[in-house]
């Protein structure tokens, strides 16, 4: 089969000939790849800062954001049939029998740091014509979401983040949903960054009842600001409103959802977090030298304002299920906006422009059909 991957030992990003997979377990499902989304992680792997091939292979097939169609099921498969659309998750459990999270199918919290990740870390990804996986790592996609379901994986970042927010706010005796209201009702949320993870996060926060703002660098008007405001979220440019004025504009900030991966702005905005607020970090910056931060102001706030800072990586089965559910809501409420997140669909031959060329648009997708 044709596949696109990296050969780290030779610092190459290239088209590969990759063997077609077959079912080797009763719970296996074979999937025809339909769409694969490209993100910053793929582009970073193509600069060889991380990304490791599986043992015995000199290359790693890229791609961790995928949608596919089931073409074959093993004798033990219960959840899927041929023709179903599915989205696979990314992380696979470590082999350590003592890893409590992995043994409970919560490898997103793996405690041994020896997990694998499809398309990223020691496990081939989805940027190829077919792939096989255990049914437990797949989530069913309703046919009406076929055109946008490639957005599920980046949306799971927000879904797991939100699940962590609900758990964190259980520390407040009155925390939790009021009858008949979404859980974020009456709360203000600021999303840091207007990339795909940020915009999908803003949609998820809005659906969950938060009064939501996106805080990003570019001045208005710009296409991302127009998109965000088309679904009722106010866009604020950091070039026009500084961090000191952010809380004056928003009101008390109950939640900041960081989706920018840049440490300077991430820690600067932490100063604006409100009383009893939660700060969720999702970005993974490249290693860089230390930078100055307003440490005493931040530490005073964290203590005196009972703030919580939570990191979140990867996603569990519930986050995938919630992402499908919320994507269905986005599709009903904002069909045009959610489609606009997908900048363009490309053929596999276009891989070089997408992976090592200048970044453009919001979410570029490689389509296999
Ligand atoms: Zn990604
Ligand atoms: Zn583990």
pLDDT > 90? residue 176: no
**Higher-scoring residue by pLDDT: 137, 179:** 137
**For the purposes of burial, counting CB atoms within 10 Å of the CB of 117, is it exposed (0-12), middle (13-18) or buried (19 or more)?**
buried
Banded model confidence at residue 16, pLDDT cuts 50, 70, 90: very high
Q: What is the mean pLDDT of the chain?
A: 97
pLDDT value at residue 157: 97
Question: Distance from the CA of 65 to the center of ligand 1, in angstroms?
Answer: 6
The pLDDT tens digits for 223-261 are 999 999 999 999 999 999 999 999 999 999 999 999 999
* Domains of the chain as residue ranges with CATH: 2-148+341-367 (3.90.180.10), 154-311 (3.40.50.720)
Helix, strand or coil, per DSSP, at residue 5: strand
Question: Distance from the CA of 41 to the center of ligand 1, in angstroms?
Answer: 6
Question: Distance from the CA of 314 to the center of ligand 2, in angstroms?
Answer: 13
Question: Distance from the CA of 245 to the center of ligand 1, in angstroms?
Answer: 32
Are the C-beta atoms of residues 81 and 135 closer than 8 Å to each other?
no
Tell whether omega for the bond before 320 is within 30 degrees of 0, i.e. cis: no
The alpha carbons of the chain give a radius of gyration, in whole angstroms, of 21
Ramachandran quadrant class, 122 (left: phi over 0; alpha: psi -120 to 50; beta: rest): left
pLDDT > 90? residue 35: yes
pLDDT value at residue 273: 98
**Which two tokens mark 172?**
């407040």
pLDDT value at residue 93: 98
Neighbours of 82 (CB within 10 A): 11
| Ligand (nearest to CA of 98) | 2
Question: Distance from the CA of 90 to the center of ligand 2, in angstroms?
Answer: 14
Question: Distance from the CA of 120 to the center of ligand 1, in angstroms?
Answer: 10
pLDDT value at residue 179: 86
The pLDDT tens digits for 199-217 are 999 999 999 999 999 999 9
Banded model confidence at residue 175, pLDDT cuts 50, 70, 90: confident
pLDDT > 80? residue 84: yes
Question: Distance from the CA of 314 to the center of ligand 1, in angstroms?
Answer: 10
pLDDT value at residue 286: 85
pLDDT value at residue 287: 86
The pLDDT tens digits for 88-107 are 999 999 999 999 999 999 99
Angle CA(350)–CA(89)–CA(132) in degrees, nearest 5?
A: 75
Query: Average pLDDT, stretch 55-83?
Result: 98
Question: Distance from the CA of 9 to the center of ligand 1, in angstroms?
Answer: 23
The pLDDT tens digits for 281-305 are 999 998 899 999 999 999 999 999 9
Question: Distance from the CA of 24 to the center of ligand 2, in angstroms?
Answer: 23
pTM of the model as a whole: 0.97
Question: Distance from the CA of 153 to the center of ligand 1, in angstroms?
Answer: 7
pLDDT > 90? residue 343: yes
Phi/psi at 11 (5° precision): 50, 50
């Amino acid at each position: 089969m044709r596949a696109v991957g990296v050969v780290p030992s030779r610092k190459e990003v290239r088209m590969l000939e990759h063997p077609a997979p077959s079912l080797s377990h009763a719970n296996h499902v074979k999937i025809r790849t339909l769409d694969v989304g490209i993100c910053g992680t793929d582009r970073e792997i193509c600069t060889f800062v991380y990304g490791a091939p599986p043992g015995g292979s000199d290359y790693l097939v890229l791609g961790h954001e995928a949608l596919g169609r089931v073409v074959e099921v093993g004798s033990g498969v219960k959840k899927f049939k041929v023709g179903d659309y599915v989205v696979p998750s990314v992380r696979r459990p470590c082999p350590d029998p003592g890893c409590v999270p992995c043994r409970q199918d919560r490898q997103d919290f793996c405690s041994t740091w020896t997990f694998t990740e499809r398309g990223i870390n020691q496990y081939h990804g989805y940027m190829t014509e077919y792939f096989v996986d255990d049914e437990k790592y797949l989530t069913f996609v309703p046919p009406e979401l076929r055109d946008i379901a490639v957005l599920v994986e980046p949306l799971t970042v927000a879904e797991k983040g939100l699940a962590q927010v609900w758990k964190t706010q259980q520390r407040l005796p009155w925390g939790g949903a009021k009858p008949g209201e979404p859980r974020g009702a009456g709360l203000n949320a600021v999303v840091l960054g207007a990339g795909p993870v940020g915009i999908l996060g803003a949609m998820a926060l809005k659906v969950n009842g938060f009064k939501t703002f996106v805080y990003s660098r570019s001045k208005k008007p710009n296409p991302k600001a127009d998109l965000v405001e088309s679904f009722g979220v106010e866009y604020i440019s950091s070039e026009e409103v500084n961090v000191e004025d952010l809380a004056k504009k928003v009101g008390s900030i109950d939640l900041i959802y960081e989706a920018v991966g840049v440490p300077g702005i991430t820690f600067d905005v932490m100063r604006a977090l409100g009383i009893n607020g939660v700060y969720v970090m999702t970005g993974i910056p490249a290693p860089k030298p230390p930078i100055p931060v307003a440490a005493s102001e931040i530490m005073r706030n964290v203590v005196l304002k009972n703030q919580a800072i939570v990191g979140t990586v990867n996603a569990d089965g519930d986050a995938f299920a919630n992402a499908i559910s919320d994507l269905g809501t986005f599709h009903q409420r904002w069909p045009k906006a959610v489609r606009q997140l997908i900048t363009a669909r490309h053929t596999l031959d276009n891989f070089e422009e997408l992976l090592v060329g200048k970044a453009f648009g919001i979410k570029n997708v490689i389509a296999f059909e």
